[in-house]
Amino acid sequence: MSTSANKKKLVIGNWKMNGSSAANAALLRGLLPVISSFERVEIALCPPYPYLATVADLLDDSDVVLGAQNLSTELSGAHTGEVSGSMLGDIGCRFVLVGHSERRALYGEDDACVAKKFATALQAGLIPVLCVGETLAQRQSGETQTVVTTQLHAVLKAVGIDELAKGVIAYEPVWAIGTGETATPEQAQAVHRHIRQWLADHDCVAADCRILYGGSVKADNAERLFNQPDIDGGLIGGASLDAMSFAAICEAAQAKPTI
Ligand code: PEP
């Protein structure tokens, strides 16, 4: 099973907790002139919260869309320090990451919390990007598919398959994030195929769902990853902070529309 014909790939840059007003402006000055001619790939950038509005302005004349790295489980009210999905939509976000492994590992976000954030994002009209993936120990003990399925199932249970399919899924093996160690194209493809089959088994039009790969994607490995039939694009951390690297990854994605 592969994805539907000639679907544009999606590449999302996750800047994590990096940047400054000056650094972001410089990055976009280098990046936007290059990627603005890429019409066969959808591109999104997820800056830290304080820079969202400024980056939204800087992206105004481009086709690059805005995303956020996180959102509150709550809709509004007495939740000091939290940011709601509707606020993110209000300032122009289209996507929001949920369940990134750093949030799961460092900030105690369990499957129930991730599922609530996924539902809240949809309620706010955002497209949630659901991150799933196994640790090295889980891979080594043969649990990869079970871990990924359990993470997907938590969201399925909360929102149902039709709502789940409105999001994007990002397979991000934890051992490959920020480590320089990338899943081989074959390893990534195997998990992507498993996810797509899982979607199909739940009566979803699996071919229409976008499944991104994330984990040390760089300019020199992007093309081989994007060439896999079930990889619909990438979620890019470190390499999204360098204009030329990120542009090269986007170029690799547009050169490989999903067949
Ligand atoms: C990420 O933060 O989602 C990620 C994949 O990071 P990196 O590309 O740096 O591994």
Per-residue pLDDT tens digits for 54-66: 999 999 999 999 9
User: So what's the pLDDT on residue 139?
Assistant: 96
32: tokens are 């936007």
Please tell me the predicted confidence (pLDDT) of residue 4.
47
Are the C-beta atoms of 83 and 72 separated by less than 8 Å? yes
Catalytic residue among 100, 102, 134, 251: 100
Going from the Cα of 178 to the center of ligand 1, the distance in angstroms, rounded, reads: 5
Check residue 256 and give its pLDDT: 74
- In the set 42, 134, 172, 251, the catalytic residue is 172
The residue ranges of the chain whose pLDDT is under 50 are 1-5
pLDDT, tens digit, for every residue of 178-208? 888 889 999 999 999 999 999 999 988 877 8
pLDDT at residue 204, rounded to an integer: 82
Q: Residue 257 has what pLDDT?
A: 66
User: What are the pocket residues of ligand 1 if the criterion is a CB atom closer than 6 Å to any ligand atom?
Assistant: 14, 16, 100, 172, 177-178, 214-217, 235-239
* 18 vs 157: CA distance, rounded Å: 34
At 208 the pLDDT is: 84
Domain covering 9-245 in this structure, CATH number: 3.20.20.70
- Of 216, 220, 221, 249, the residue with max ligand 1 atoms within 8 A of its CB, to mutate for a pocket test, comes to 216
According to the model, what pLDDT value does residue 128 have?
A: 98
Ligand 1 geometric centre to CA of 201 (Å):
29
Question: Does 251 participate in catalysis according to the annotation?
Answer: no
Helix (H, G, I), strand (E, B) or coil at 7: strand
Ligand 1 atom closest to the CA of 218, numbered from 1 = 8
Ligand 1 mutation target, pool 70, 130, 217, 231, most atoms within 8 A of CB? 217
Residue (of 244, 234, 240) closest to 34 by Cα position: 244
